[in-house]
Amino acid sequence: MKYNIHTHHFSNRKDVVELVNQYPNEVDLLIPNFTVGIHPWYIDFQNLEHDLQIIEQTLQHPNCKALGECGLDKRIETPLEDQISVFKQQLLLAEKHKKAVILHCVSAYQEVIEIKMQLKITVPMIIHGFSKNIQVAQSLYKNGFYLSFGKYLLRNPELLNVLKQIPTEFLFLETDMIEETIDQVYAKAQSVLETDVEKLIEHNYIKVFNRD
């Protein structure tokens, strides 16, 4: 069994557990495994309270495995302080309902680490689509963050060296929005890690997402 912890495409394959990203205004409860959250690109301040209410309700559904994706992005026009406010409100919901968090983070890793510590977040937090160097990776996993690798693993050979160096207990794999399959991502990871990737990802998945 393969585990795809972040995708926007529901393939319904029997041999893959995939966490399908959903937004508050489009939740399909019939998808077997999904996440729900407010992406920093799509914050709707007029409907924020309503969206947060939907998220809180949805987090209690058995098919909802995590909150997300949510996070911070310094490359968009929405002021960072506004993003932080929405991010914190979502983290508190995840903590309340003991759900893991899938994180979108662009040029704001230090802020995410500080917010986790400030709010004393204890639920697992996963940086999706990780693409940075080993120094950033170390600062994250040493503060308890998991790292999910996807499209950049297939496109950036230098990232393979980062993958080799992180402790496997902090590792996940994903496809996000790419056309390549989760099989290709697993094959690339398998080519550099001298271990059974399916087995180690399954172990991490059970630890992080099956917390009941």
Give the DSSP per-residue string, 76-135: SSS-HHHHHHHHHHHHHHHHHHT-EEEEEEES-HHHHHHHHHHHT--S-EEETT----HH
pLDDT reported for residue 194: 87
Strands 100-106 and 125-127: parallel
User: Quick one: which of 136, 116, 134 has its CA closest to 125?
Assistant: 116
Q: How confident is the model at residue 212 (pLDDT cuts 50, 70, 90)?
A: low
Indicate the pTM of the whole model.
Answer: 0.96
- Full domain range(s) for residue 165: 2-209
pLDDT reported for residue 23: 97
* For residues 116-124, average pLDDT: 98
How many domains, in total, are found in the chain?
1
- Inform me whether the pLDDT recorded for 131 exceeds 70: yes
Mean of pLDDT over the chain: 97
Q: How confident is the model at residue 166 (pLDDT cuts 50, 70, 90)?
A: very high
Q: How confident is the model at residue 210 (pLDDT cuts 50, 70, 90)?
A: confident
CATH of the domain at 84: 3.20.20.140
Please write the tens of the pLDDT for every residue from 18-74: 999 999 999 999 999 999 999 999 999 999 999 999 999 999 999 999 999 999 999
